[in-house]
Chain A
Amino acid sequence: MAHLRLVNVTKRFGDVTAVNGLNIDIEKGECFSMLGPSGCGKTTTLRMVAGFEDLSDGEIYTGDRLLSSPKKNYYLPPEKRDFGMVFQAFAVWPHMSVYENVAFPLRIRHLGSSEIEKRTRDALASTNLLGAANDSPDSLSGGGKQRVALARALAINPDVMLLDEPLSSLDPHLREEMRFEIKDLQRKYGFSIIYVTHDQAEAMALSDRILVMKLGVVQQIDTPLAVYNSPANKFVFSFIGLSNFLDAEWRDGVPVLRGGMPLPDGLAPDRNMGSFSLASRPSEIDFVSEGEGGSYALEGVVTRKAFLGEIIDYQVNVGGQEVRVQKGRRAPGPDVGSACRLRLLRPFWYAEEEG
């Protein structure tokens, strides 16, 4: 049985449907990410799970325990849900010491003083904060503050940890470090994670499964690898990783690029799709020489070449449309202005109305 269950969860703000008919089952110990552009409803969903927002429709359960159900007129307030939560802006209380911040949820539960002491120290030890226990959180860096927030969420040893963009206020290098710390803590304590982020690399690195959302509607729920390798639609393709889209259409029974250049067999979809996009990833394109590439190749002219360190970034004009290609710095490539031949290793096709 799923540990956390969202059944047909819907949230409307006035006329706007922020979240529409969401069904998710999250297993115990799973790390589940919700990914999408801002305003897609991911944070609203998390806040409904936490209990800060009412549902307009649907139900949320942990195990057999009902959390929210507008139909049954039932709503368990956040303070009774026993979740851990970490917010983007740290939200550590500046008027309490690090120790008191972490001990707060335990004191609220009226635990014995030795129990509070022990569990606070455990949580502080797990987050490498024992040395700073008596400091004011204001004296800590952003990463330190976020560790305090994590320790505070850990203190009650929750089954479910809700993380609302916990790393996006941190410096990039710290972000990567904290990512693995969170993963380690999950292994140690065994809680489930619901992780909200707009950073796909973060979601990829942490998650067992990813949900991609757009305008309150689920686009795809799958493992990181599957989301990357077989995106369900054009939106998911464009949102995860770098992407190229070439506008194309079916003209006189033949697929052609916008502008009229016919598509070779290998790059043609297997059915008449009307107007469609030919999608590819910049890293999955090779430069091939005349005669190579067979039915997967397109002719173009290099219009820009930028050295980005480990990789070289090319912009190639193919029949009036731009295609981005990324190759390792060691691979020889054509120069700006020269004609070239591209081989698309893994083409995808998305009909236009799929959005």
Chain B
Amino acid sequence: MKRRGFGTAQVILFLSIAILVVVVAVPVLLIFLNAFWVNGSFNVADVIRIIREPDTWQALVNSLIIASGTTIGSTIVGTFFAWLVTRTDLPFKRFMKGMFLVPFMLPSFIGALAWKMLLSPRAGFINRFFMQNLGFDGPIFNIYSYAGIMMVEVMYLFPFVFIQVCGALERMDPTLEESARISGAGLFTITRKITIPLVLPSILSGALLIMLYSMAHFGTVAVLGIENGIFNIPTLIYQRIHQSAGSFASIRTGTVLAAILVVAAALILWLQSKVLSRGHYQIIAGKSFRPMELKLRALRMPLLIFCLAYIGFTIVLPTVVIFLVGGLKTYGLPFTWENLSLDNYKFILFDYKVTKDAIWNSVTLGFSAAVITMFAGVMISYVIVKMKVRGKGILEFLGMLPFSVPGSVIALGVILAWSGKYGVNLYNTVWIILVAYIARYMAFSLRANSAALEQVHDSLVEAARVCGATMWQALKDIVLPLVRPGMVAAFFLIFLPSLRELTVSIMLYAPTTRTIGVAIYTLNEDGETVMSAALAGIALILIIVGETLINRFIKTERRGG
């Protein structure tokens, strides 16, 4: 690069680093400082003391138990369904594949809420049905348990494995299996010796993603665990910060737990990259015949019924329950026409200040965070992917950071950084939530934008420069139009999840700055079950409409080129 261009490159690099440092690096750094630095000196003994406190230790163990169980369960479910829809002659495979991806867009804490209504030991509809009509003495299943939490998490997390394995099985060169077949191996042997080993990296990488997600997951454990005193790391952090109103001891415990989460997340991501780089076989080939389909024969109908039952039980039933409960006059009444109305929905949309504020907050926060993060993400990705400047290494490292920092850690870090200790006090305002959202969703934006930028070959910009365009003109006229789909994708990838965000907002909200997620959660905690369900129903509608719109948009973008 010539002298003249050097200045602008440096400016962009500096800005990019500054954004990541302020938004992500400083909060994480403050967490580690607070955890390990006591009264001006490095102190590991104190950290160990905190870890060995019974509550903290139990939360760590619980996080591990729940994450392990969820990971194993989701991996089995996800791999099985992926194999079923890609490699067998199961009927309605395309529909099934679509349905198995639906849990991706449903917020798991709303799911947990629905399952609480269905399977809580005394009041759950299913348990009550069995006790009242079928003469059972006690509840058939207690959702307030490790098994219950893991079951709900599996329902919402298995798509991580499902989508990875589906992709691998679909892209895999079918002649890899055909050559085993012509070598004399039967379908069972091929599945065991060829197919599974070849997709194992995809299975493992999906499983590790689930592990990461589940370990740092707040919603489900918060809704289902607290009743029986089951805390994991994020819920314990929340409980400590929330109850003690920011006392020194509780902040210390929080930061130690958060530090452990960050380390664990980094470890998992490192493992995942190892799995992907070491075991990622070149199994993709150009020429594609349809892969072999296993004829299920006698099992075809039973497996179809099983899949439909699974979809009905895990997707349709909880959704219906949310909407029905949202329509009830009072929680506990039977579902009859006299008891059901749209009054709750009208009330929370037009009259109830708490929910009206929450919807407004979530929409404005989500929109602002999405716009800011989208533009920042484009700039940072551009430096990482395209520019050849010194100091890029720092940025690459900083750019990895958002991927490995769980939401509750960001929330805690933001509290430490923006509570006035360093000159700016945003605590109890919406701004602190906005800053946290930007930090939390930066990873999404970086991923979408780098992917889009990698598609733009350098020669396209070089061709523009040869035609007489300056660097800026080339960026404006060539690069920006080409990465626009990536930017729009980034916008929606941030806007839609932020509408249902809970983990970060729950730690940062003030009475007037509730978000939709916080409102659903707190209404439920306060016993306003029907209001909570109605708001959850509205959130579901918002999310489903949004997802449908973005899918349509992405399709037309692809077709239109």
Say yes or no for A108: interface residue by CB 8 A criterion: yes
CA distance in complex: A51, B286 (Å): 22
Say yes or no for B49: interface residue by CB 8 A criterion: no
Chain A residues within 8 Å of B60, by CB:
none
CA distance in complex: A89, B186 (Å): 22
**Judging by beta carbons under 8 Å apart, are B281 and A105 in contact?**
no
CA distance in complex: A35, B467 (Å): 46
CA distance in complex: A249, B287 (Å): 43
Say yes or no for A31: interface residue by CB 8 A criterion: no
Chain B residues within 8 Å of A88, by CB:
175, 285, 287
Residue in B closest to A168 when the chains form the complex, CB atoms: B287
Q: Given A94-B198, A108-B189, verify A89-B182 contact (CB < 8 Å).
A: no
Say yes or no for B194: interface residue by CB 8 A criterion: yes
CA distance in complex: A108, B182 (Å): 11
Say yes or no for A87: interface residue by CB 8 A criterion: yes
Pick the contact of A79 from B182, B193, B282, B283 — CB < 8 Å? Answer: B182
**Judging by beta carbons under 8 Å apart, are B198 and A81 in contact?**
no
Say yes or no for A271: interface residue by CB 8 A criterion: no
CA distance in complex: A79, B194 (Å): 15
Digit string of B172-204 for contact with A (CB within 8 Å is 1, else 0)? Answer: 010110111111111001000110011010000
**Judging by beta carbons under 8 Å apart, are B283 and A87 in contact?**
no
Residue in A closest to B279 when the chains form the complex, CB atoms: A95
**Judging by beta carbons under 8 Å apart, are A81 and B179 in contact?**
no
Say yes or no for A52: interface residue by CB 8 A criterion: yes
Pick the contact of B183 from A95, A138, A156 — CB < 8 Å? Answer: A156
**Judging by beta carbons under 8 Å apart, are A156 and B179 in contact?**
no
Say yes or no for B337: interface residue by CB 8 A criterion: no
B323-342: which have CB < 8 Å to A? none
Residue in B closest to A164 when the chains form the complex, CB atoms: B175
A69-89: which have CB < 8 Å to B? 77-85, 87-89
Chain A residues within 8 Å of B185, by CB:
79, 104-105, 108
Chain B residues within 8 Å of A149, by CB:
179
Chain B residues within 8 Å of A153, by CB:
182
**Judging by beta carbons under 8 Å apart, are A156 and B178 in contact?**
no
Digit string of B250-290 for contact with A (CB within 8 Å is 1, else 0)? Answer: 00000000000000000000000000000001110111010
Say yes or no for A91: interface residue by CB 8 A criterion: yes
Q: Given A52-B178, A89-B285, A89-B287, verify A95-B198 contact (CB < 8 Å).
A: yes
Say yes or no for A109: interface residue by CB 8 A criterion: yes
**Judging by beta carbons under 8 Å apart, are A89 and B194 in contact?**
no
Chain A residues within 8 Å of B281, by CB:
94-95, 138
Residue in A closest to B190 when the chains form the complex, CB atoms: A79
Please report the total number of B residues contacting A with Cβ < 8 Å. Answer: 26
**Judging by beta carbons under 8 Å apart, are A78 and B178 in contact?**
yes
**Judging by beta carbons under 8 Å apart, are B178 and A87 in contact?**
yes
The smallest C-beta distance from B18 to any residue of chain A, in angstroms, reads 42
Chain B residues within 8 Å of A85, by CB:
178-179, 182
A37-73: which have CB < 8 Å to B? 47, 50-52
The smallest C-beta distance from B87 to any residue of chain A, in angstroms, reads 15
Residue in B closest to A105 when the chains form the complex, CB atoms: B183
CA distance in complex: A212, B292 (Å): 29
Please report the total number of A residues contacting B with Cβ < 8 Å. Answer: 31
Say yes or no for A228: interface residue by CB 8 A criterion: no
CA distance in complex: A51, B183 (Å): 12
Say yes or no for A152: interface residue by CB 8 A criterion: yes
CA distance in complex: A319, B141 (Å): 91
Residue in A closest to B200 when the chains form the complex, CB atoms: A95
Chain B residues within 8 Å of A80, by CB:
184
**Judging by beta carbons under 8 Å apart, are B198 and A78 in contact?**
no
CA distance in complex: A83, B178 (Å): 12
Residue in B closest to A100 when the chains form the complex, CB atoms: B193
**Judging by beta carbons under 8 Å apart, are B198 and A89 in contact?**
no
Chain A residues within 8 Å of B289, by CB:
47, 52
**Judging by beta carbons under 8 Å apart, are B175 and A79 in contact?**
no
Chain B residues within 8 Å of A94, by CB:
198, 281-283
Say yes or no for A296: interface residue by CB 8 A criterion: no
Say yes or no for A235: interface residue by CB 8 A criterion: no
Chain B residues within 8 Å of A138, by CB:
281-282
Q: Given A88-B287, A138-B282, verify A108-B178 contact (CB < 8 Å).
A: no
**Judging by beta carbons under 8 Å apart, are B173 and A89 in contact?**
yes
CA distance in complex: A162, B292 (Å): 19
The smallest C-beta distance from A290 to any residue of chain B, in angstroms, reads 52
Residue in B closest to A53 when the chains form the complex, CB atoms: B289
Pick the contact of B182 from A81, A92, A95 — CB < 8 Å? Answer: A81
Chain B residues within 8 Å of A109, by CB:
184
Pick the contact of B286 from A84, A89, A152, A162 — CB < 8 Å? Answer: A89
Q: Given A89-B173, A108-B189, verify A83-B286 contact (CB < 8 Å).
A: no
Chain A residues within 8 Å of B186, by CB:
77, 79
The smallest C-beta distance from A106 to any residue of chain B, in angstroms, reads 9
CA distance in complex: A233, B136 (Å): 84
Digit string of A148-159 for contact with B (CB within 8 Å is 1, else 0)? Answer: 010011001000
**Judging by beta carbons under 8 Å apart, are B183 and A108 in contact?**
yes
Q: Given A88-B287, A94-B282, A149-B179, verify A108-B173 contact (CB < 8 Å).
A: no
Residue in B closest to A108 when the chains form the complex, CB atoms: B184
Most buried by A among B175, B189, B200, B283: B175
A87-122: which have CB < 8 Å to B? 87-89, 91-95, 104-105, 108-109
Chain B residues within 8 Å of A89, by CB:
173, 175, 285-287
Pick the contact of B181 from A78, A92, A93 — CB < 8 Å? Answer: A78
Q: Given A78-B182, A104-B180, verify A91-B282 contact (CB < 8 Å).
A: no
The smallest C-beta distance from B186 to any residue of chain A, in angstroms, reads 6
CA distance in complex: A89, B184 (Å): 20
CA distance in complex: A91, B287 (Å): 12
CA distance in complex: A162, B286 (Å): 20
Chain A residues within 8 Å of B180, by CB:
93, 104
Residue in B closest to A85 when the chains form the complex, CB atoms: B182
**Judging by beta carbons under 8 Å apart, are A87 and B198 in contact?**
no
Residue in B closest to A52 when the chains form the complex, CB atoms: B178
The smallest C-beta distance from A61 to any residue of chain B, in angstroms, reads 18
CA distance in complex: A252, B286 (Å): 54
Q: Given A105-B183, A108-B183, verify A95-B197 contact (CB < 8 Å).
A: yes
Chain A residues within 8 Å of B285, by CB:
88-89, 91
CA distance in complex: A122, B519 (Å): 73
Chain B residues within 8 Å of A104, by CB:
180, 183, 185, 193
The smallest C-beta distance from B194 to any residue of chain A, in angstroms, reads 6
CA distance in complex: A257, B304 (Å): 67
The smallest C-beta distance from A93 to any residue of chain B, in angstroms, reads 6
**Judging by beta carbons under 8 Å apart, are B182 and A50 in contact?**
yes
CA distance in complex: A176, B173 (Å): 26
Chain B residues within 8 Å of A52, by CB:
178, 181, 289, 292
Q: Given A47-B289, A108-B189, A138-B282, verify A91-B184 contact (CB < 8 Å).
A: no
**Judging by beta carbons under 8 Å apart, are B182 and A83 in contact?**
yes
The smallest C-beta distance from B300 to any residue of chain A, in angstroms, reads 19
Residue numbers of A with Cβ under 8 A of B are 47, 50-52, 77-85, 87-89, 91-95, 104-105, 108-109, 138, 149, 152-153, 156, 162
10 extra interchain contacts, Cβ-Cβ under 8 A, other than A91-B175, A105-B185? Answer: A52-B181, A77-B181, A78-B182, A79-B182, A79-B183, A92-B179, A104-B193, A108-B183, A108-B189, A152-B179
**Contacts A/B (CB < 8 Å), 22 sampled:** A47-B289, A50-B178, A52-B178, A52-B289, A78-B181, A79-B182, A79-B184, A84-B182, A87-B175, A88-B285, A89-B286, A89-B287, A91-B173, A91-B178, A93-B197, A93-B198, A95-B197, A95-B200, A95-B281, A105-B185, A108-B185, A152-B179
Smallest CB-CB A-B distances: 10 pairs: A105-B183, A89-B285, A94-B281, A91-B175, A87-B175, A108-B184, A91-B179, A85-B182, A95-B197, A78-B181
